[in-house]
Amino acid sequence: MSETCNNNCESCSQDCDSRSAPQDFRAHLNAHSRVGSIIGVVSGKGGVGKSLVTSLLAAGATRRGLKAAILDADITGPSIPRAFGITGKATGTQEYLLPRVSRDGVQIMSINMLLESDTDPVVWRGPILAGTVKQFYSDVLWHDVDVMFIDMPPGTGDVPLTVFQSLPLDGIVVVTSPQELVGMIVGKAMNMARMMDIPILGLVENMSYFTCPDNGKDYHIFGKGKSAAAALEYGVPLLGSIPINPEIADACDEGRVEDITGDWLAPALDVVEKVVSQKG
């Protein structure tokens, strides 16, 4: 026991022998928010299209009549606002931060909405990053959300651990690409989720193939079937395969992700709807 101990274990981070109560890592919504289901979007490494999948899932859920939101937990590499064409800053009251709302109604909170400039670096250590994610959940006024997607930073570090421990996740979608190295690394993210008892809803493969505009044939530039094999190995479904398509990249760069209407993620959205319906 520390000499300065005040016997209030709930407000103390020391792991001492005299601890009288377990640490509570959970974050709680404020009294005026409602979030039905929460789905994390994760990857084992960066650059595989996790933010793209998050954006497409939120836009697709909205088209299916659900009220969707995105909590951008990738604090040091936020890209969600740009994909939706949101350039303004978040506002708030004395009590709450208010999310920005996209053209089609997706509620979004990202650190870029709080920085003076989008190019300002976020040079924070892990505990501060993790605390910010919890504040985005608790201190933002989320209005009647059916499903919230959390765009998590890649890997298995502080922020993914905080999300897994602190937020009531209904499951995660794991994003991968066909390269064998990425498939190996994504296994680490899946194993971490299982260690934390987080349901894995399935895999989504990005950069799966390229459709030649001249002959209409699909070319699997990075190899075929590797994500399907990984899904089989880990006993989860493959929920979609997104092609390499310049039009997708252009839409995201121009803030028009809600204009992308391909049905590549239809199986994933079916699962999302099932999760939401089960929560009632």
Q: For 70-89, what is each residue's pLDDT tens digit?
A: 999 998 888 999 999 998 88
**189 contact partners, CB below 8 Å, separation of at least 6:** 42, 43, 44, 155, 156, 160, 174
Predicted local confidence at residue 127, as pLDDT:
84
The pLDDT of 13-21, averaged and rounded, is 58
Domains and CATH numbers, the chain: 27-279 (3.40.50.300)
**235 contact partners, CB below 8 Å, separation of at least 6:** none
Predicted local confidence at residue 76, as pLDDT:
84
Residue 218 reports pLDDT greater than 90: yes
Predicted local confidence at residue 9, as pLDDT:
56
Q: What are phi and psi of 82, to 5 degrees?
A: -65, -40
Per-residue pLDDT band at 40 (split at 50, 70, 90): very high
The pLDDT of 38-61, averaged and rounded, is 94
Indicate the SS3 state at residue 44: coil
DSSP-assigned letter for residue 210 = E
Predicted local confidence at residue 106, as pLDDT:
98
d(CA 258, CA 62): 9
Per-residue pLDDT band at 226 (split at 50, 70, 90): confident
d(CA 240, CA 266): 7
Question: Tokens 């995660």 map to which residue?
Answer: 172
Per-residue pLDDT band at 110 (split at 50, 70, 90): very high
**Percent of the chain clearing pLDDT 70 (strictly above):** 90
Q: What share of the chain is helix, strand, coil (3-state, %, to 5)?
A: 35, 20, 50
**What is the pLDDT of the chain when averaged over all its residues?**
88
pTM for this one? 0.88
The pLDDT of 4-18, averaged and rounded, is 57
50-63 helix and 266-279 helix, angle to the nearest 10 degrees: 60
Residue 146 reports pLDDT greater than 70: yes
Predicted local confidence at residue 252, as pLDDT:
95
Q: What are phi and psi of 279, to 5 degrees?
A: -80, -15
Q: Single out the residue of 166, 183, 129 nearest to residue 27, CA to CA.
A: 166
d(CA 277, CA 271): 10
Indicate the SS3 state at residue 49: coil
Per-residue pLDDT band at 121 (split at 50, 70, 90): confident
The pLDDT of 113-127, averaged and rounded, is 79
Predicted local confidence at residue 169, as pLDDT:
96
**Percent of the chain clearing pLDDT 90 (strictly above):** 60
d(CA 70, CA 127): 22
Question: Tokens 């999302």 map to which residue?
Answer: 272
Dig out the tokens for 220 from the structure.
């699997």
d(CA 280, CA 268): 19
Per-residue pLDDT band at 217 (split at 50, 70, 90): very high
Specify whether the CB–CB gap between 198 and 174 falls below 8 A.
Answer: no
Specify whether the CB–CB gap between 83 and 255 falls below 8 A.
Answer: yes
Q: Single out the residue of 211, 223, 228, 224 nearest to residue 267, CA to CA.
A: 228
50-63 helix and 246-253 helix, angle to the nearest 10 degrees: 80
Predicted local confidence at residue 233, as pLDDT:
86
Specify whether the CB–CB gap between 84 and 108 falls below 8 A.
Answer: yes
